[in-house]
Each structure stands twice: as C-alpha cells, then as structure tokens.
Amino acid sequence: MPSASQPAIQARDLGRRFGRDWALAHVDLDVAPGESMVLAGANGSGKTTLLRLAAGLYKPSRGAMRIYGLDPRRDRLECRRALSLVSHQAYLYDRLTALETLRVWARLLGRPAADSDLMPLLATVGLDRRPRLRVAGFSAGMRKRLTLLRTRLERPRLLLLDEPFSALDVEGKRQVEDWVHDAREAGAAVVMASHAVRRAGRLCDRAVLLERGQIVWRGDGDELAERLGESA
C-alpha cells in the first residue's frame, strides 16, 4: 500500500536511454501529495518519458523512481491503483459507445455502473446528448473528453497528464482545469506535460523546464510563461 507520508513522486539521478541516446538524464524531482507541477520543454525534451517512467511503462536506465515510496516497476499493481495516466493515446474501443465504455470502466473499478449513475458523468463532459454514438464516430476532442472522464472514476492519488489541453475547445479546457482543482482538493498530486505554458503555469504550483532530457530551470508555475517569453 502506498504511504501517504511519502512524496507522490521522488526521482533521484533518473535516466532513460533508447539505444545510444539519453531521452532523460540526471533528473532529481520531488512532488508532494496535493501539489501540482507542469513539465515544459520542446518536443523531445523528455517530458513524456518522465511521465511514462512515473507510470511504470518504462524501466529506468539509471537512478530510481518512487511513487509514494514504491517502485512503479516492482510494485506495479499498487502503483497502478494509486495513479492515472492520460496520454496522447486514448486506448478506446471504437465499437463501444460512450455509455458502454464508461460502464466497462466502472465495473472494472468496482464503481456503480447503472445508467442513472453514468449519465450524469457523461453530462459533465457534454457527451450525454449522444451516449449511444460509437467511439468510431467521435472527434479528437470527444475522445479526449471521454478519456479524461476515466480519471473521475479512478480517483487517483497521482494524476499524470500528457498535453491535457490538446484537441479540446474552450469548455473542454475549462473542464480540465476544474478536474485538476478537484483532484488537488482531494489530496492528489498532479503532474502535467504541456505546451500551453501560460494556462498550465497558472494552474500549477511549480514548473520544471526540460532541455535534451535534463532539467535546466525550476520555478513557480506563474513564472513559466515569462521565463519562456510567452506573451499573455
């Protein structure tokens, strides 16, 4: 069982190599329960690699990663129960409808799975008007909304978000912001990789800037946009 007294994420001299190339190197990082952090940097800077190491999808090539004191590779099941990763890949079944997808997730997680329980959840992401439309007919934004809804069911203690604002309209982006606030109020830690540095920076306590797999700057979230020279 993950310990609430431990950091949500603790990385020491963390590195991941693909072939001869280091995607991440010498990373030291701590994220406390209830804290939010944005990872910024150009494509290929190591943001997604860091999230995947935290989720246990990659094994470190050097150093150590701990999730609430546990090794995400060795203690895979306990860590998986504690965290939720929302990545670029939605992993949705095209033949299922939005309602059927939510019903499967709810049953797997031991949550109430009656339509009367699930329809209000679909309403929070604007999918209640077409609950029986198959996922194959979804737009990219609709797929993202349905994928993000999974986090409401999982109630993670660590929420990992990879470009959560992409493919979403203004209302969808606002929903992401509300969910991050709700997760933090529930005591969860949130780490997001985002190119929307001004929006993400306002939302997060702290920011980390990565270049070529290494941390080159740390600061408060609201300092990030100024650091990168992004206008309001």
Do 13 and 98 belong together in one domain? no
User: Domain range spanning residue 53?
Assistant: 9-91+156-228
Chain segment 47-69, per-residue pLDDT in tens: 999 999 999 999 999 999 999 99
* Per-residue pLDDT at 97: 95
Q: 17 in a domain, yes or no?
A: yes
Do 51 and 63 belong together in one domain? yes
Q: 100 in a domain, yes or no?
A: yes
Do 53 and 119 belong together in one domain? no
Q: 148 in a domain, yes or no?
A: no
CB neighbourhood size of 29 (10 A): 20
Question: What 3-state class would DSSP assign to 193?
Answer: strand
Chain segment 201-223, per-residue pLDDT in tens: 999 999 999 999 999 999 999 99
The pTM score is 0.92
Number of domains, the chain: 2
d(CA 62, CA 117) in angstroms, rounded, equals 45
d(CA 121, CA 113) in angstroms, rounded, equals 11
Q: Which stretches of the chain are DSSP H helices?
A: 47-54, 76-82, 98-109, 115-124, 140-154, 170-185, 197-203, 224-228
Q: 212 in a domain, yes or no?
A: yes
* Per-residue pLDDT at 151: 87
Q: 81 in a domain, yes or no?
A: yes
DSSP state of 9: E
Do 77 and 26 belong together in one domain? yes
* Per-residue pLDDT at 105: 94
Do 120 and 203 belong together in one domain? no
Do 86 and 181 belong together in one domain? yes
* Per-residue pLDDT at 187: 94
Do 220 and 162 belong together in one domain? yes
The segments of the chain whose pLDDT lies below 70 read 1-4, 230-232
d(CA 132, CA 187) in angstroms, rounded, equals 34
Q: Strands 206-211 and 189-193: what pairing?
A: unpaired
* Per-residue pLDDT at 103: 95
Q: 47 in a domain, yes or no?
A: yes
* Per-residue pLDDT at 232: 38
The helix (run of H) or strand (run of E) holding residue 37 is strand 36-40
The helix (run of H) or strand (run of E) holding residue 35 is none
